[in-house]
Amino acid sequence: MASDFSAHGNGMSFVMDDFKSTKSVARQETKVRSAASPSPASDVSPEVPIISVEHVSLDYKKEKEPLPVLVDVSLAARKDEFVVITGPSGCGKSSLLRIIAGLNKPTSGRVLFRGTPVTEPRQELAMIFQNFVLLPWRTALENVLFGLVSRKDISEEKKKELAMRALDDAGLKGFENVYPGELSGGMKQRVGIARALALEPQALLMDEPFSSLDDLTAEHLRKGIYSLLINPSSPIQTVLMVSHNVE
């Protein structure tokens, strides 16, 4: 497989699906091991991973002694790969994803996006949170549009087009004018997914995105995201997902 990863004592596993061929999907599940993974090349080339995590550690301060959450974690997610981060509760899966997204800073190590250090959130990295937050006074469409406020490079008409398409991809066609209070928990989660898709990210970072969905809806959305990943016209290049379910 094309993905490189290693860690020490975190209890996490990484599952990689390679979607370079739409006819044949190669799967490999490998437990976290201690061997150091090779560092990505410094120049931007087709061989440079979309996302590189290099020897990332994270400590939380607890009284006088630091509490290690992540210890020397390394992984690489390349184009057309779907990476699932699994492990027991409390092993640092969500913390790792937030560091990759640029929302939190590691104690040591670094994260690279196409060879460039990630030091803050950026448009190319969109995160879907486990605990979705919607503005109750805005419709589903307005909640998705709110995520596009910072995009000054496109017109309002284009923003609405992206938002409507994202709602459709998330299975919410026809619900664009409905308020969150009128939606089920699963439908609210789908609005959160649509909000991330509308950003046209190159990397989609998902923290237990299907936890509040029924099995049928979750499977529908999984297939939809797979389709976006292998679609040449889609901006999504790779997906990283925290999940207890690797199916």
Amino acid 28: pLDDT? 32
Amino acid 226: pLDDT? 81
168 by Cβ neighbours in 10 Å (0-12 / 13-18 / 19+) ranks as: middle
Amino acid 211: pLDDT? 75
Amino acid 215: pLDDT? 83
- Give the residues of the chain that fall short of pLDDT 50: 1-6, 8-9, 19-44
Amino acid 80: pLDDT? 87
Half-sphere exposure (CA, 13 Å, Cβ side) for 227? 9
Amino acid 213: pLDDT? 76
Amino acid 18: pLDDT? 54
Amino acid 42: pLDDT? 38
Domains of the chain and CATH, by start: 1-124+204-210+236-247 (3.40.50)
Rounded Cα distance, 134 and 159, in Å: 18
pTM over 0.85: no
Rounded Cα distance, 104 and 220, in Å: 31
